[in-house]
Amino acid sequence: MTDANKHAAMAQVLSELGCEIEALGEVLCLDAEFAARHVCQLQAIDLIAQKQRALAELIASGFSEEQVSRITIDTLRSRFGGFVDPRGAPGRGEIGGDLNLWN
């Protein structure tokens, strides 16, 4: 199996997990009282799903500069933007800063 196939398989799993997490959040939102008591946690569930889908797209694209620029979650775009240089080649950026999932 080539690296591209491995990356495609990883991207597919991340995408599926993102959809499953989002579906879980939607089910929890059906209970209005529960949703009212857990707004922040439900927003966190949604953000986790968004991050997983963004990572899936990034992996599937081979960390392309174009895909990095399409990331709509600022914290992810800033963390992965350093891996692509202005010429479109993989850069030497480092992941740093706050690793808190809720950012």
> What confidence score (pLDDT) does residue 78 get?
84
C-beta neighbour count of 101 within 10 angstroms: 10
- Summarised one tens digit per residue, pLDDT across range 84-94 is 655 544 443 43
SS3 assignment, position 4 = helix
Domain span at 73: 3-82
97 domain-assigned: no
87 domain-assigned: no
For residues 46-66, give the mean pLDDT: 91
Residue type at 37 in one-letter notation:
R
pTM value is 0.73
17 domain-assigned: yes
94 domain-assigned: no
- Give the CA distances from residue 90 to residues 3, 32, 58, 97, 98, in Å, rounded to whole numbers and listed in that order: 16, 46, 12, 20, 23
Residue 54, pLDDT > 50, answer: yes
Q: What are the φ/ψ torsions at residue 84 (nearest 5 degrees)?
A: -125, 125
101 domain-assigned: no
**Whole-number mean pLDDT of the chain?**
82
Domain count along the chain: 1
58 domain-assigned: yes
